[in-house]
Amino acid sequence: MSRNNAGLTEDRIITEALRIIDGQGLRRLTMRRLGDALEVEAMAIYHHFPLGKEQLFDAIVAYVSDVARPAADEGGADGAGGEADSDGEEREPAAPDPRPWDERLRAWAADYRRALLAHAQALPLFIHRRPDTEAAMRSLEVLYAAFTEAGLAGADVVRAAAALDSYVTGAVVREVRAEGLPAQRPAALDGRFPHVTALREVRPDPEAVFTAGLDALLRALTAPAASA
Amino acid sequence: MSRNNAGLTEDRIITEALRIIDGQGLRRLTMRRLGDALEVEAMAIYHHFPLGKEQLFDAIVAYVSDVARPAADEGGADGAGGEADSDGEEREPAAPDPRPWDERLRAWAADYRRALLAHAQALPLFIHRRPDTEAAMRSLEVLYAAFTEAGLAGADVVRAAAALDSYVTGAVVREVRAEGLPAQRPAALDGRFPHVTALREVRPDPEAVFTAGLDALLRALTAPAASA
DNA sequence: ACCTGAACACCGTTCAAGT
DNA sequence: ACCTGAACACCGTTCAAGT
């Protein structure tokens, strides 16, 4: 009786794909391996993602980008009881966040960074894909609303949101790139690089680096004289 | 007589690989296709990159990251006359850049952004690879020297350089992600996203967005009270 | 509707061989 | 030293078929 209808859902496929990506790396995510992990023939996946692997990648990006997602069964128990049927439920204009605008922006940045770092191996997928989802729209609305409340208007709002998004994305890439490299090769540190040599031992905490840059950027973006 | 010694060099291989990546996309760069483009059997490439495709990818990242490279034969004529034998020549401590520190930082940012945008299709390679080259060290030295000249010291210098690098990297990713998406779906723009709706028509010039964010960040990083 | 199984046109890489 | 050619163990995807 377990021949057909193996209980495949998009969510189960995405979650399992992310488990493989996180554990073994993006390049080891193959349709055949994913099928094995789901205890299904690889070709069964095409029934849920008819456009193949590219469509699966799009779905993974959208999934990870949805920062506000409950984030329940990631890596813990299996996702046997979580039917995520969330249509038709959130039509109201979303209860306004009571926190001041700068706290909201900091929270957004922290959440976004955390979501990306949690699936660092999937990051290459994010470069040429932008999720066209309500969650993405919600994110943009949060940024625009906060910067407007901070006193900006028009193009300044759009520019500020772009700068903040750039910074967080780049910071995550930076943190991920730093991993797995042998600090600084002392071999190459000769007289041509005096400043690098002098600061060789300075390794500030990554989280502190992120926060310091974020603070500086937010301060500058919302300073009264910021309309260039 | 043209059976052996087809004149393969690392540089020729990298340049041709980049041409394929830029023209057809990263996924279409295969060893066989690259061999065809070089008019050589695919397996010949392994003689110059014994560790295979991964090593070739590393070399591509190092090549593109070397912003100060002459940048001659990219896409123009073929590279028949450019033997880049540059060892043992640059031992002197590099003539100091006469420009003020903020100009140097802006120039670095502009150069880096341009280099990345010129090979946007190769960007996914940059996420988990950091070139361990002299050129990379030179870049870091430029940043550290400029921020020191701006009045920072110690961890503040490292943090400022990290923030600037994050911003530029993220800005490029942002610009690349923006391509090929149909603006904003008016379908999803209902009452829940009033700010996004209001700013729908505001599409500032990408270059201006980049510069505005860069200016704001530099201002904040080098402001007297920036030592958090 | 949902999944299987065989098949096709590719991959990256190894290895022995040529010159 | 530098390149070739065949071979191996994979890929993604199509397509006809099963239930």
Put simply, whether A165 touches B (Cβ < 8 Å) is: yes
> Given this model, what pLDDT does residue B181 score?
67
* Under 8 Å between Cβ of A77 and A144: no
User: A-contacting residues of B 29-88, CB under 8 Å?
Assistant: none
Coil, helix or strand at residue B180: coil
- Model confidence pLDDT, tens digit, residues B107-166: 999 999 999 999 999 999 999 999 989 999 999 999 999 999 999 999 999 999 999 999
- Model confidence pLDDT, tens digit, residues A174-191: 999 978 666 666 666 778
Averaged pLDDT, B64-88: 52
Q: How crowded is residue B134: how many other Cβ atoms within 10 Å of its Cβ?
A: 16
Q: Which residues lie near nucleic chain D, judged by CB under 7 A?
A: A 3-4, 29-33, 42-43, 46, 52-54; B 3-8, 35, 40-41, 43-44, 47-48
- Model confidence pLDDT, tens digit, residues B58-74: 999 999 999 877 655 44
State whether the beta carbon of B32 lies below 7 angstroms from any atom of strand C. yes
Residues 6+ away with beta carbon under 8 Å from B169: A169, A170, A173, A174, B116, B126
Q: What is the pTM of this model?
A: 0.89
Residue B95 per-residue DSSP state:
P
Confidence of residue B2 (pLDDT cuts 50, 70, 90): very low
Residues 6+ away with beta carbon under 8 Å from A189: A196, A197, A200, B137
Residue with tokens 């904003």: B184
Q: Which domains does chain A have, with CATH numbers?
A: 92-227 (1.10.357.10)
Residue-by-residue pLDDT tens, chain A, 228 positions: 345 677 899 999 999 999 999 999 999 999 999 999 999 999 999 999 999 999 999 999 999 999 877 654 444 333 333 333 344 344 456 678 899 999 999 999 999 999 999 999 999 999 999 998 999 999 999 999 999 999 999 999 999 999 999 999 999 999 999 786 666 666 667 789 999 999 999 999 999 999 999 999 999 999 865 444
State whether the beta carbon of A6 lies below 7 angstroms from any atom of strand C. yes
Closest CA to A48 of A15, A97, A86, A80: A15
Nucleotides of D under 7 A from a protein CB: 1-6, 10-16, 18-19
